[in-house]
């Protein structure tokens, strides 16, 4: 009989405390939907009392039908000088209307006295009354014991008493938090054993670890070995200071190595994709060396070992990369590339076999583009167009013959003048040349306006599409303003959204490429649907 | 009586297996000298048999007088079809003339059969004869038991027998290697205990862990708790796939938390500097979230929090950052209040009191800017300039009166033409107007060239600075190409680096702002230094 664990993701709350991890409201919704697809059990969406963006998230997410996940709102116990039913923070938690609420309280005497500025006895009352107040209104109520391990080291009796109060008042799970991240695994094990002994009753407990000692994953695993039924963490370990426990490491460790079950275990082959999606959305580079999901995690340097690796991967890899949706990268062989391409092609409605020579051509072209800085993971529309082009079905509906962008600020305080002129031939090669111009509030915006203006006479359906997101990443290599940039554009119409990519030393040229791919994809997909 | 551990660094050998970590011969020498200053006990310099760069390293490093460290050469047991005294690999090891040699052998039956292509018995002979051959020639001889944990799981008797042979032949320390990085800490503890029991004699052992399961640091600490006297790892955990055990985390965990002594423990305040130096030399970004040594490791957000941190740092930090040479950073963000500003001002050499009305004005201005999309966390130079401006010391050395950027691609395949013209008045208000133009490989690059061209006649020291990084983030709000963007620029000169920020709907205007702030900061700081 194997054990089952619940995974509690706090990427959208604790994760956004990281210095460079910022998500818009729309991003947060997209992340939540991805986490749901992955099979995460609980998604902590934010702290509704702390800022209006989080409150809006809870309102909007209610419009979506989640497959499995339950959304949690996070907040603190009530104010020392208030009663629970009059406390605005607790009220905001209930107004979030989530099935799950997680409330944190103080376990460390110093924090009670210095941060809360109240007495030890009052803090116990606060914990108890906060939990009791929330209990009838939510399906699941979790109690986060903030600074638990530091608190226990300072005053074990008091720390345990806070747990006893929260449990007695009806919390479903007591989550032991290593808030400052300073606890080492051997201490953690000892403390958990001692806590269980002192409590003298069966409780459900969870673990929330931070990585300040580089042991957050190990701490989480040990807590589970000691009986924890819930593990909290973030995707890619993003979080304040050194980050939270990394769920992208914890989940496969549990499922593949410890025989522990969890819902996300069923979707493990999607782990790498979800991990990369989230950093892509936040415009953060995905660290190559991330365990399980990083681009280098299964990379093997070429040479004598290559054939051995292919014959006996187990002897050089701790797990098969496919189990977590990652791929083996062997520099002298394109074998891993082929199966990927065949898999992708099938998603685009193309049945190709591994042996088909066009698959080799696609692998070559993708590799060449990636070496130039292209990236197709968030630009699947560009990949689809590339495949069709190599299959001899060049999807081209127009031709951009040339463009000129003028961006000027003639006086110091004066307004900007931004103008783009474009020459477009429709259809390509033989058609009319449309020469037109438009202004914009920036150079890319002006280009977008001018190209659309030239095309909409021929393709009025372009009016249905809008550009939803526009991202720029500076590529490693030449430093400074001479560097190459990658532009990713997300577009949308009534039927869905798609991503395209462009790369150049010139940000406007890169943007132009991605824009053209985006219009082309819209026209291509519309025609394909009409034909179907 | 506290225990003493030896630290064995393999940054120069196993570390350089990382995909993006490359060091020249000169770099390797500089890294070795830094590691020696830090108090590392053994520095593995390379594999003399495998490449000429490593062989040259061993020759050159002999010219230096190291303070404490001993250099180790790394190599494999002799070839199955050779005898020890005729093996070129073993000969190359001795030719390196290092006081220490580390030799690795096979512990895993599959690897003996598949990689070495020999019999289990012959492998035992090879281990024994290789160790015996080297023994008289070196001060210290270490035996790395490759794939030890996987080998033990497959065939514990055989794995233990390989250890017994190496020990019997005279190795000073048996290093248990988790080469594939797949072992979890609870398994590792169990295996080490079992090995000790089976060996039935006192041996010295070490640990060499990889991070594929995100547990390399925990594994190393547990091995030490089980009696290991040597720990191998790399600086910042750099290494193949997911990297090696991170010595920058292991050393402070041992010294500050486990009461274990090591030579590097005496120089702990230099740890952050050495960690950053090595990545700087390899031209790799230093990950912000690295435990102990990362730029975010002691970064705090949020106003209420900050005043408490300043009063009681221990309650929000697992250790004092100064112990490892890192610094506390108070992030100025829209959550921040007066105490953050006072703290930052002190870093900029300004003594302000919490009650000073200018502090309120600064807080207001920062909040207003942040609402517009500015971000000062990575742009401290812009924050410093903002503070001086509000204190009535407007630091302005020139005035950009206007600019015009033309970016055109006149034909479909033809080259880009990118030209910027600028009008700059130096000094502002009264000085000469310089009207000039420049080209670039993109519009921002052309602007950068043109403004520098206009200014360098007046301020030749601008030639000393270069732009090190350029980042663009699209701000949430209006979607698509009309969105506002934030540009962050990192600049550097011989004295250090600084960050500046610009925000606009127009990416070129935002870049222009950040560039101007960057030049201004350079001129301001140079003058301040001259006056000091």
Q: Over the stretch B191-225, which tens digit does the pLDDT of each residue have? A: 999 999 999 999 999 999 999 999 999 999 999 99
Q: Is the pLDDT of residue B155 over 70?
A: yes
Q: Look up the domain containing B442 and give its range.
A: 398-458
Based on its alpha-carbon atoms, the radius of gyration of chain A, rounded to whole angstroms, reads: 27
Whether residues B270 and B305 share a domain: the answer is: no
Whether residues A378 and A423 share a domain: the answer is: no
Q: Among A211, A242, A411, whose Cβ lies nearest the Cβ of B401?
A: A411
CA–CA dist B271, A449 (Å, integer): 53
Residues 241..280 of A with a Cβ closer than 8 Å to B: which?
241-243, 246, 249-250, 253, 257-258
Contact B412 A404 (CB under 8 A): no
Report CA-CA distances (Å) from B485 to A343, A504, B91, B283, B507. 36, 19, 60, 27, 6
Q: Is the pLDDT of residue B479 over 70?
A: no
> For residue A516, which of A390, A375, A393, A403 has the smallest C-alpha distance?
A403
- Residue of chain A nearest B415, judged by CA positions: A402
CA–CA dist A292, A320 (Å, integer): 10
Residues 408..427 of A with a Cβ closer than 8 Å to B: which?
408-412, 414, 416, 418
What is the structure's pLDDT at A20?
A: 80
- The answer to whether residue A174 is domain-embedded is yes
DSSP structure class, residue B256:
I
**B502 near B523, Cβ under 8 Å?**
no
Average pLDDT over residues B55-76: 95
The domain that holds B446 is classified in CATH as 3.30.160
Q: Is the pLDDT of residue A115 over 90?
A: no
What is the structure's pLDDT at A304?
A: 43
Query: In a mutagenesis test of the B interface, which of A57, A110, A242, A516 is the best target, namely the one with the most B β-carbons within 10 Å?
Result: A242
Contact A214 B246 (CB under 8 A): yes
Helices (DSSP H) in A135-245: which residue ranges? 148-154, 156-168, 185-199, 216-225
Inform me whether the C-beta atom of residue B283 falls under 8 Å from chain A C-beta atoms: no
Percent of chain A whose pLDDT exceeds 70: 94
- The answer to whether residue B523 is domain-embedded is no
- The answer to whether residue A483 is domain-embedded is no
Q: Which of A344, A363, A390 is the last residue of a domain?
A: A390
Q: Is the pLDDT of residue A333 over 70?
A: no
CB atoms within 10 A of CB B332: 27
Q: Is B353 helix (H, G, I), strand (E, B) or coil?
A: coil
**B405 near B420, Cβ under 8 Å?**
yes
Element (H, E) at A141: strand A140-146
CA–CA dist B21, B57 (Å, integer): 17
Contact A406 B401 (CB under 8 A): no
- The answer to whether residue B519 is domain-embedded is no
- Residue of chain A nearest B213, judged by CA positions: A291
Task: Please state the separation of Cα A237 from the chain's center in Å.
Answer: 11
Q: Which of B252, B281, B310 is the last residue of a domain?
A: B281
CA–CA dist A403, A423 (Å, integer): 6
Q: Among B249, B312, B402, whose Cβ lies nearest the Cβ of A110?
A: B312
CA–CA dist A137, A133 (Å, integer): 8
Say how many CA atoms lie within 13 Å of B115 toward its Cβ. Answer: 23
**B394 near B386, Cβ under 8 Å?**
no
Contact B108 A222 (CB under 8 A): no
- Residue of chain B nearest A292, judged by CA positions: B212
Q: Which of B249, B281, B313 is the last residue of a domain?
A: B281
Report CA-CA distances (Å) from B154 to B148, B160, B161. 10, 11, 13
Regarding predicted confidence, which is higher, B207 or A333? Answer: B207
pLDDT in tens, B73-132: 999 999 999 999 999 999 999 999 999 999 999 999 999 998 889 999 999 999 999 999
B519 Cα to chain A: minimum distance (Å): 14
The whole-chain average pLDDT of chain B stands at: 91
Residue B241 in tokens: 């796939």
Contact B441 A474 (CB under 8 A): no
Whether residues A268 and A334 share a domain: the answer is: no
Using a CB-CB distance cutoff of 8 angstroms, which residues of chain B are in contact with residue A467? 479-481
ipTM confidence score: 0.77
> For residue A218, which of A257, A180, A188 has the smallest C-alpha distance?
A188
Percent of chain B whose pLDDT exceeds 90: 68
Residue B488 in tokens: 């962050």
Residues 178..217 of A with a Cβ closer than 8 Å to B: which?
180-182, 184-186, 211-215, 217
Contact A253 B405 (CB under 8 A): no
What is the bridge-based pairing of β-strands B205-209 and B230-233?
A: parallel
Of the candidate ranges A145-154, A395-404, B174-183, B298-307, the one whose mean pLDDT is the lowest: B298-307
pLDDT in tens, A484-494: 888 988 888 88
Whether residues B306 and B450 share a domain: the answer is: no
The domain that holds B209 is classified in CATH as 3.20.20.70
Q: Is A532 helix (H, G, I), strand (E, B) or coil?
A: coil
DSSP structure class, residue A246:
B
Angle at the Cα of A511 (from A525 to B472), degrees rounded to 5?
125
Measured N-to-C along each axis, helices B185-199 and A216-225 cross at an angle, to the nearest 10 degrees, of 80
CA–CA dist B418, B441 (Å, integer): 7
Contact B215 A221 (CB under 8 A): yes
Query: In a mutagenesis test of the A interface, which of B116, B214, B317, B412 is the best target, namely the one with the most A β-carbons within 10 Å?
Result: B214
Using a CB-CB distance cutoff of 8 angstroms, which residues of chain B are in contact with residue A253? 184, 213-215
**A5 near A224, Cβ under 8 Å?**
yes
> For residue A347, which of A384, A400, A376 has the smallest C-alpha distance?
A384
> For residue B238, which of B298, B286, B296 has the smallest C-alpha distance?
B286
pLDDT in tens, B330-364: 776 544 577 778 888 888 888 998 889 999 899 88
Report CA-CA distances (Å) from B286 to A249, A442, B281, B289, B296. 22, 33, 11, 9, 11
- The answer to whether residue B352 is domain-embedded is yes
> For residue A498, which of A295, A347, A343, A276 has the smallest C-alpha distance?
A347
Regarding predicted confidence, which is higher, A513 or B335? Answer: A513
pLDDT tier, A303 (very low <50, low <70, confident <90, very high otherwise): very low
Inform me whether the C-beta atom of residue B481 falls under 8 Å from chain A C-beta atoms: yes
Q: How many residues would you count in chain A?
A: 532
Whether residues B435 and B316 share a domain: the answer is: no
Q: CB neighbours of A499 closer than 8 A, spacing ≥ 6?
A: A378, A379, A380, A381, A382, A488, A489, A490, A491
Q: Write phi, then psi, for B33 (nearest 5 degrees).
A: -65, -40
Whether residues A109 and A65 share a domain: the answer is: yes
Using a CB-CB distance cutoff of 8 angstroms, which residues of chain B are in contact with residue A107? none
Contact A448 B480 (CB under 8 A): yes
Residues 356..395 of B with a Cβ closer than 8 Å to A: which?
377-378
Q: Among A19, A184, A468, whose Cβ lies nearest the Cβ of B331?
A: A19
Whether residues A216 and A138 share a domain: the answer is: yes
Whether residues B159 and B75 share a domain: the answer is: yes
CA–CA dist A55, A42 (Å, integer): 17
> For residue A337, which of A358, A308, A360, A314 has the smallest C-alpha distance?
A360
> For residue B371, which of B470, B477, B472, B296 has the smallest C-alpha distance?
B477
Q: Among B243, B443, B473, whose Cβ lies nearest the Cβ of A506?
A: B443
Residue A433 in tokens: 């040349």
Q: Is the pLDDT of residue A2 over 80?
A: no
Using a CB-CB distance cutoff of 8 angstroms, which residues of chain B are in contact with residue A318? 180-182, 212-213
CA–CA dist A402, A386 (Å, integer): 22
Inform me whether the C-beta atom of residue A472 falls under 8 Å from chain B C-beta atoms: yes
**A488 near A503, Cβ under 8 Å?**
no
Q: Among A185, A297, A473, whose Cβ lies nearest the Cβ of B241?
A: A297
CB-count exposure of residue B39 (10 Å: 0-12, 13-18, 19+): buried
Q: Among A180, A296, A467, whose Cβ lies nearest the Cβ of B479?
A: A467
CA–CA dist B453, B461 (Å, integer): 12
**A517 near A501, Cβ under 8 Å?**
yes
Residue A144 in tokens: 């986060």
Say how many CA atoms lie within 13 Å of A433 toward its Cβ. Answer: 9
- The answer to whether residue B471 is domain-embedded is no
Number of folded domains in chain A? Answer: 3
**B43 near B62, Cβ under 8 Å?**
no
Whether residues A268 and A381 share a domain: the answer is: no
Residues 71..110 of B with a Cβ closer than 8 Å to A: which?
108, 110
- The answer to whether residue A365 is domain-embedded is yes
CA–CA dist A173, A228 (Å, integer): 9
pTM over 0.80: no
Using a CB-CB distance cutoff of 8 angstroms, which residues of chain A are in contact with residue B292? 212, 214
Whether residues B177 and B319 share a domain: the answer is: no
Whether residues A252 and A118 share a domain: the answer is: yes
What is the structure's pLDDT at B332?
A: 63
- The answer to whether residue A106 is domain-embedded is yes
pLDDT tier, B280 (very low <50, low <70, confident <90, very high otherwise): confident
Inform me whether the C-beta atom of residue A316 falls under 8 Å from chain B C-beta atoms: yes
Sign of the dihedral defined by the CA atoms of residues A428, A430, A431, A435, in that order: positive
CA–CA dist A521, A528 (Å, integer): 10
Contact B212 A410 (CB under 8 A): no
Whether residues B269 and B416 share a domain: the answer is: no
Contact A291 B147 (CB under 8 A): no
Contact B288 A315 (CB under 8 A): no
């Amino acid at each position: 009989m194997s054990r089952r664990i619940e995974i509690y993701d706090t990427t959208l709350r604790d994760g956004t405390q990281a210095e460079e991890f910022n998500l818009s409201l729309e991003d947060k919704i997209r992340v939540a939907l991805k986490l749901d697809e992955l099979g995460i059990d609980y998604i902590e969406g934010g702290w509704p009392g702390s800022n209006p963006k989080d409150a809006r998230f809870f309102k909007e997410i209610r419009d979506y039908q989640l497959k499995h996940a339950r959304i949690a709102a996070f907040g603190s116990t009530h104010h020392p000088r208030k009663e629970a039913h009059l406390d605005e923070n607790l009220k905001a938690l209930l107004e979030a209307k989530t099935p799950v609420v997680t409330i944190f309280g103080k376990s460390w005497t110093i924090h009670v006295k210095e941060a809360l500025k109240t007495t030890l006895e009052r803090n116990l009352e606060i914990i108890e009354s906060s939990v009791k107040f929330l209990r009838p209104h939510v399906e699941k109520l979790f109690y986060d014991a903030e600074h638990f391990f530091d608190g226990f080291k300072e005053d074990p009796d008091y720390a345990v008493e806070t747990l006893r109060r929260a449990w007695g008042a009806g919390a479903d799970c007591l989550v032991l938090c290593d808030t400052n991240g300073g606890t080492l695994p051997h201490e953690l094990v000892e403390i958990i054993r001692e806590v269980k002994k002192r409590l003298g009753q069966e409780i459900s407990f969870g673990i929330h670890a931070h990585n300040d000692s580089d042991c957050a994953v190990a701490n989480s695993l040990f807590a589970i070995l000691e009986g924890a039924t819930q593990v909290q963490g973030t995707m890619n370990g993003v979080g304040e200071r050194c980050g939270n426990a990394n769920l992208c490491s914890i989940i496969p460790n549990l499922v593949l190595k410890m025989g522990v079950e969890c819902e996300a275990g069923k979707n493990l082959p999607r782990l790498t994709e979800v991990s990369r999606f989230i950093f892509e959305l936040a415009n953060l580079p995905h660290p190559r060396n991330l365990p399980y999901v990083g681009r280098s995690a299964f990379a093997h340097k070429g040479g004598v070992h290559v054939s051995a690796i292919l014959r006996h991967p187990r002897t050089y890899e701790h797990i098969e990369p496919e189990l977590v949706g990652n791929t083996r990268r062997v520099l002298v062989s394109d074998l891993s590339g082929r199966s990927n391409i065949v898999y992708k092609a099938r998603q685009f409605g193309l049945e190709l076999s591994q042996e088909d020579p066009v698959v080799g051509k696609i692998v070559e072209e993708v590799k060449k583009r990636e070496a130039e800085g292209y990236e197709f993971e968030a630009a699947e529309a560009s990949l689809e167009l590339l495949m069709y082009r190599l299959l001899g079905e060049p999807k081209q509906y127009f031709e951009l013959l040339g463009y000129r962008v003028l961006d000027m600020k003639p006086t110091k305080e004066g307004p900007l003048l931004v103008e783009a002129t474009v020459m477009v031939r429709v259809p390509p090669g033989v058609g009319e040349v449309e020469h037109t111009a438009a202004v914009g509030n920036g150079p890319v915006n002006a280009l977008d306006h001018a190209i659309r203006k030239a095309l909409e006479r021929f393709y009025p359906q372009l009016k249905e599409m809008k550009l939803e997101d526009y991202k720029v990443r500076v590529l490693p290599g030449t430093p400074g303003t001479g560097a190459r940039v990658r532009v990713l554009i997300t577009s949308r119409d009534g039927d869905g959204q798609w991503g395209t990519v462009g790369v150049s030393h010139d940000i406007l040229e890169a943007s132009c490429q991605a824009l053209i791919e985006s219009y082309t994809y819209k026209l291509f997909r519309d025609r394909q649907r009409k034909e179907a």
